[in-house]
Structure 1
Amino acid sequence: MDLLSIQNPSFLKKMTNQQLEQLSEEIRHFLIEKLSKTGGHIGPNLGVVELTIALHKCFDSPQDKIIWDVGHQSYVHKILTGRAKDFDTLRQYKGLCGFPKRSESEHDVWETGHSSTSLSAAMGMAIARDLKKEKSYIVPVIGDGALTGGMALEALNHIGHEKKDIIVILNDNEMSIAPNVGALHNILGRLRTAGKYNWVKDELEYLLKKIPAVGGKLASTAERLKDSLKYLLVSGMFFEELGFTYLGPVDGHSFEDLLENIQYAKKVKGPVLLHVLTKKGKGYHPAENDKRGTWHGTGPYKIETGDIIKPVNAPPAWSKLVSDTVQKLARKDDRIVAITPAMPVGSKLEEFAKEFPDRMYDVGIAEQHAATMAAGLATQGMKPYLAIYSTFLQRAYDQVVHDICRQNLNVFIGIDRAGLVGADGETHQGVYDIAFLRHLPNIVLMMPKDENEGQHMVYTALNYDDGPIAMRFPRGNGYGVPLDDQLKEIPIGSWNVLKEGNEAVILTFGTTIPMALEASHLLEKQGISVKVVNARFIKPMDEALLTEILEQQLPILTIEEAVLQGGFGSAVLEFAQEKGYHNAVIQRMGIPDRFIEHGSVKELLREVGLTVDHIVDKILTMTPKKQKRA
């Protein structure tokens, strides 16, 4: 079949199971070929080919709402809804989004980049459907890893209580980004082994009905017997106790099983949970045999070998630099404990876990729990390192405020993927953490200019005893600078001057330092002397150095790869106002007040005006006398 010609999923209605199986093979071949060039989330999508086809065959999207909790699992959905022709642009600037996007298709009814949201969204849609007296099926598709998120459990509880007609598809591949953890995962494991549960349950209920009901006593005894045998048959009837009709487990790669059970689920009143077993990476050997999570999401790769195409002799990743330093310090300080919410691979904590298995905790997709657990550790004199992506730290905001900062606890938060992250787009851009952390009492917030300063900051953080401290660091690799053998503490709140100048000042930190230095050298050639300051401590700022600069009445340009509202530049403006420097010339450059979509980091920086040329132009407008002379 020509996948590029697909306009909508209606063609599936007339297809036989054999034709559907052929279509599945064609889609897998298409994905393997296209993603080898663009990169993307290949493992998750290869695992849901049959499931996605079955859903679109049984339901009428977009009237029926198929809600993808794991948004990066929607590639097959995109193909079936007419977007195969756009896959050459997947995750590229102005191209096809790697997640569901409502503006992209009417079939994308919910946008998600963070997991565990689909059930709450489904409940909202179901309530709206019923209030409007409409007829439609609401079908959230949630993974077993996402089901460990607290928000998903809250929604399950509410859906079961309200008895709304919602068909929850539990896509159980036993393998999220990292191996799943927790008691709920163990419940699912037991359910997987009880494949004949529903048949036995139905037979049991039929036989019990044959018992003559002589008086209420015997009837109640029979009911208790049924319950006892139910618990005997399947250890932990979690979903049924929550008010769901549980169906499964079902082979997620068998159209016969899928179609039969989906049609049955459509006939059941009230909430249904259809437990579907799939294999992540199915159909592509390297992805099928992935034990580390490498094939969860990749860059381009060689189809024949599965080798990931990476830059040759690239410097170490920032995540590895930070985790290696934490691991090094943990050998001398047994108070150090590492915590991650389902990101041990991305945060490069696997080696730490091997060396210190009792001091490494992957809590699953549970960012709020991770933050408060770190706070609990800190109350007992431990030194918790919370490794978390900037975009996921947003989910633990209240815990950072209420449990960590309010109690002034010694938690070290490693904010990974800070700044623009590129291809994952607006749900993953780590540009808000400065704005939502800077105003919190007690916290220290810093960002290094390179790996060497980064390792010293880690050392500083784990030796800091006066409250919470956070270090931002970007996605990707460092610069390859030499690393000092001896670690040292950096004075809290200290900045340092990277280049002297006497006509304007650039205050910046982290990833924007190289462009600031390059701009200053270009301006030097035009006769404009610009000082460049590494403002590595965003909070507290170096008030002595900032006061000195303000006293000199030099124009100040702040640059940050983060949102301008409430950011570092705002802090400089606030300081100038509070200290009475009302005539100070201060301009800011950063991320504007809108969500930044996907593309390469370089393309996105150009789009938002964070480039060397933009810096040069900005300084020229701030030094008009020099501009006229030039």
Structure 2
Amino acid sequence: MTGPGALRALPAGRLSELAAQIRRRLVDTVCARGGHLGPNLGVVELTIALHRVFDSPRDTLLFDIGHQGYVHKLLTGRHEEFGTLRQASGLSGYLCRAESDHDLVENSHASTALSYADGLAKARRLTGEQDRAVVAVIGDGALTGGMAWEALDNIAAAPGRPVIIVLNDNGRSYAPTTGALARHLALLRGAGAQQSQVTGANVFTQHGLAFIGPVDGHDIPALENALRRARSLHSPVVVHVVTVKGQGYPPAENDDADRFHAVGVTDPVTGRPATSRPSAQGGPAAVPRSWTSVFGGELLALAGEREDLVAVTASMLRPTGLHLMAERFPGRVFDVGIAEQHAVTSAAGLAMGGLHPVVAIYATFLNRAFDQVLMDVALHQLPVTFVLDRAGITGPDGPSHHGMWDLSLLSVVPGIRVAAPRDTARLRELLREAVAIGNGPTALRLPKATTGTDLGALARMDGMDVLHRSTRRPLDVLLATAGATAPAAVQAARQLEEKEGIGCTVVDPRWIIPVNPALVHLAARHRLTITVEDNIRTGGFGTLLAQACTDTAVTTPVHSLGLPSAFLPHGPRDALLARAGLDADGIAKTVLHARTALTTYGLTPNTSPLNDTRRPQ
């Protein structure tokens, strides 16, 4: 199969064989590389039908989120490269404009495809290209997002502007779809089981949209027939397709289907996570714990101690660790669907009602609810705690999933307090401190990584932890770290002392927003301060500390080391951090470069009384 043209020329009798081959390739590759397995197994026949009925890229196929785009990749000339999926310099785990003309949209945040489709259809009408179809594939989970309904409202208002909306209904996103829409779609599926098509009124027809379905999403002839009918209408239409997540792969069908939504390296036969090596006792290696699981366990413990503690998530109960609390306290955990804006303002309402909500959300998805954090929570000084999972570099998920903007966004929110735990002991400690704050919002940043050894402190000073203090020239350089960057900073400090004779102090502020005045004072006692953060440098922790030093007339130069203001590619997390200079070697090189530059231009403030090395540490 070399492309959609060859697929359209393939005899119908061979399509079942092709679908089976695609499923085998999906299982083999995704189990070896990690990625979204269940969603792609569920759309094999649907994607085949789409490419047989429509002429991509002349006809535009838009896949909401894009995590179900692997089959699309295989059918659009990327079969040979598919083994590089999610690997550095290989195929993206989502759609990617640089890979193919068949990928028009690569934003992998949910509920956006219908808005893209609305705009494209308008453009086609204005440019006289109405013979080019616009097709948007959206899941029932993504349809819970408010933006999707804003788009539907506009699409339905223009009957002469054809958009074909393919509703891929499998009853779930990361987990079973929640809300009244889920119940309505279940009724439509039930009615469809009694007859070939639903003919009565439903939420879509009441909006003025034509409606076809439900259609068996694993019956290629039925799918092709429905899609051709939809195109012939020349008006906005919903094609309701019913699929099974994980279809054709027994572990996904017989086990928890949502566990196969996204998998790591997996045994393709059993569907269980693969172990990399045996333990010292000869048995299977223990699977390292994730930061997410540690958070989930600690929140459960806190929920048992405090009846006012509730939790909110946006269709990501298990990925954010809230499933543990939901199992024990189901009435106190609210999954609002893929609706981050609603999640935050609903949490504001919970706080106004005397509760303390914990909103668990991916850092990248907090971007979507910034106005709600600012105006609905912070303006009212409400006690809402945001736990931002996947903060910093996420690794193989790519540019739209790196959590590298949250500190910059939150830094402008009046009254918010943001913590960045460096290890799991601090995670537990800081979470307890956060939910104890009752006069404003708080946030915690958690990396996408497995937990390591806890990094103890030499001393705690005004709420900050001193992690390293050089015995030689102790006041040369201050390394101020944010969260998980701390171990690399300590290692860099040791390298600088042993190899270069440069004395370093490493401090973990724990709470990084607002800047602790004691950190400003500590910076004043050093010749150079380097901040280390896994957020973009613009508006981040380093920017805040530099501003605080300026405001208090501290002359110590502050150099910010963080992520570049760019859309970073997918790749191993450690490699991407190293590329940004956020490993031990990179931090050490930054110190040497900054120190050399200051000396070259005569800017080292050796004569300032604030930098007097005779002052006690």
Same fold (TM over 0.5): yes
Residue 153 of structure 2 corresponds to residue 152 of structure 1: no
Equivalent in the alignment of 2:507: 533
1:278 is aligned, of 243, 246, 249, to 243
Task: Deviation per CA, 1:294-314: give whole Å up to 9, x if none.
Answer: 100111111111111246324
Residue 494 of structure 1: how far off its partner (Å): 2.8
Task: Deviation per CA, 1:541-564: give whole Å up to 9, x if none.
Answer: 2212322421x2521111111100
Q: Contact between 1:160 and 1:242, CA under 8 Å: does it hold in 2?
A: yes
What is the number of equivalent residue pairs in this alignment? 583
Distance 1:357 1:268, change over 3 A: same
Residue 45 of structure 2 corresponds to residue 50 of structure 1: yes
Q: Contact between 2:204 and 2:210, CA under 8 Å: does it hold in 1?
A: yes
Counting aligned pairs with the same residue, the percent is 40
Task: Deviation per CA, 1:56-87: give whole Å up to 9, x if none.
Answer: 00000001000000311000100111011111
2:563 is aligned, of 579, 591, 595, to 591
Normalising by structure 2, report the TM-score.
0.91
Equivalent in the alignment of 1:215: none
Residue 489 of structure 2 corresponds to residue 516 of structure 1: yes
Q: Secondary structure at the match of 1:162?
A: coil
Please show how residues 126-205 of structure 1 align to structure 2 within 5 Å. Answer: 126-134=121-129, 135-163=131-159, 164-195=161-192
Q: Which amino acid aligns with 2:583?
A: T
Q: Which amino acid aligns with 2:488?
A: M
Q: Contact between 2:509 and 2:519, CA under 8 Å: does it hold in 1?
A: no
Distance 1:372 1:201, change over 3 A: closer
Task: Deviation per CA, 1:297-341: give whole Å up to 9, x if none.
Answer: 111111111111246324422112112111111112110001111
Q: Contact between 1:68 and 1:112, CA under 8 Å: does it hold in 2?
A: no
Whole-Å separation in 1 of the counterparts to 2:439 and 2:223? 56
Normalising by structure 1, report the TM-score.
0.89
Equivalent in the alignment of 1:86: 81
Equivalent in the alignment of 2:267: 302
Whole-Å separation in 2 of the counterparts to 1:428 and 1:441? 26
Residue 627 of structure 1: how far off its partner (Å): 9.9
Residue 499 of structure 1: how far off its partner (Å): 1.2
Q: Which amino acid aligns with 2:418?
A: L
Residue 516 of structure 2 corresponds to residue 542 of structure 1: yes
Q: Which amino acid aligns with 1:161?
A: A
Q: Which amino acid aligns with 1:351?
A: L
Whole-Å separation in 2 of the counterparts to 1:199 and 1:286? 30
Residue 197 of structure 1: how far off its partner (Å): 8.2
Task: Deviation per CA, 1:529-586: give whole Å up to 9, x if none.
Answer: 1110112211122212322421x252111111110000001011111222223x4222
Q: Which amino acid aligns with 2:46?
A: L
Residue 104 of structure 2 corresponds to residue 104 of structure 1: no
Whole-Å separation in 2 of the counterparts to 1:395 and 1:436? 11
Q: Contact between 1:446 and 1:538, CA under 8 Å: does it hold in 2?
A: yes
Task: Deviation per CA, 1:581-617: give whole Å up to 9, x if none.
Answer: 3x42221111011011100001111222222112112
Whole-Å separation in 2 of the counterparts to 1:494 and 1:543? 10
Equivalent in the alignment of 2:23: 28
Equivalent in the alignment of 2:414: 441
Whole-Å separation in 2 of the counterparts to 1:622 and 1:75? 45
Q: Contact between 1:292 and 1:345, CA under 8 Å: does it hold in 2?
A: no
Whole-Å separation in 2 of the counterparts to 1:289 and 1:273? 31
1:63 is aligned, of 58, 66, 81, to 58
Distance 1:479 1:130, change over 3 A: same
Whole-Å separation in 1 of the counterparts to 2:358 and 2:373? 13
1:241 is aligned, of 206, 215, 220, to 206
Residue 395 of structure 1: how far off its partner (Å): 1.1
Q: Which amino acid aligns with 1:330?
A: A
Distance 1:323 1:292, change over 3 A: farther
Q: Secondary structure at the match of 2:535?
A: strand
Q: Contact between 1:171 and 1:275, CA under 8 Å: does it hold in 2?
A: yes
Whole-Å separation in 1 of the counterparts to 2:449 and 2:574? 13
Whole-Å separation in 1 of the counterparts to 2:323 and 2:408? 31
List gaps (5 residues or longer) in structure 2.
277-284, 601-617
Equivalent in the alignment of 1:405: 378
Q: Which amino acid aligns with 2:166?
A: I
Residue 327 of structure 2 corresponds to residue 360 of structure 1: no
Q: Contact between 1:339 and 1:363, CA under 8 Å: does it hold in 2?
A: yes
Q: Contact between 2:192 and 2:198, CA under 8 Å: does it hold in 1?
A: no
2:359 is aligned, of 382, 386, 405, to 386
Q: Secondary structure at the match of 1:246?
A: strand
Q: Secondary structure at the match of 1:179?
A: coil
Task: Deviation per CA, 1:492-529: give whole Å up to 9, x if none.
Answer: x8322111232111111211111100011111112111
Q: Which amino acid aligns with 1:448?
A: P
Q: Which amino acid aligns with 1:403?
A: D
Residue 239 of structure 1: how far off its partner (Å): 0.3
Q: Contact between 1:449 and 1:510, CA under 8 Å: does it hold in 2?
A: yes
Q: Which amino acid aligns with 1:133?
A: G
List gaps (5 residues or longer) in structure 1.
203-229, 232-236, 484-489
Please show how residues 535-574 of structure 1 align to structure 2 within 5 Å. Answer: 535-550=509-524, 552-574=525-547
Q: Contact between 1:316 and 1:480, CA under 8 Å: does it hold in 2?
A: no
Whole-Å separation in 2 of the counterparts to 1:198 and 1:265? 19
Q: Which amino acid aligns with 1:66?
A: L
Distance 1:313 1:42, change over 3 A: same
Equivalent in the alignment of 2:32: 37
Whole-Å separation in 1 of the counterparts to 2:557 and 2:323? 48
1:619 is aligned, of 571, 585, 591, to 591
Equivalent in the alignment of 1:468: 441
Distance 1:624 1:410, change over 3 A: same
Distance 1:553 1:510, change over 3 A: closer
Q: Secondary structure at the match of 1:293?
A: helix
Equivalent in the alignment of 2:314: 341
Distance 1:580 1:258, change over 3 A: same
Q: Secondary structure at the match of 1:595?
A: coil
Q: Contact between 1:339 and 1:361, CA under 8 Å: does it hold in 2?
A: yes
Equivalent in the alignment of 2:450: 477
Whole-Å separation in 2 of the counterparts to 1:593 and 1:184? 39
Whole-Å separation in 1 of the counterparts to 2:288 and 2:68? 31
Distance 1:297 1:374, change over 3 A: same
Alignment root-mean-square deviation, CA: 2.0
Distance 1:122 1:310, change over 3 A: farther
Please show how residues 451-462 of structure 1 align to structure 2 within 5 Å. Answer: 451-462=424-435
Equivalent in the alignment of 2:120: 125
Q: Which amino acid aligns with 1:287?
A: A
Q: Secondary structure at the match of 1:147?
A: helix
Residue 458 of structure 1: how far off its partner (Å): 0.9
1:497 is aligned, of 458, 466, 483, to 466
Whole-Å separation in 2 of the counterparts to 1:200 and 1:607? 55
1:113 is aligned, of 108, 116, 137, to 108
Whole-Å separation in 1 of the counterparts to 2:598 and 2:181? 66
Q: Secondary structure at the match of 2:487?
A: helix
Task: Deviation per CA, 1:171-225: give whole Å up to 9, x if none.
Answer: 01112111110001111000001127886777xxxxxxxxxxxxxxxxxxxxxxx
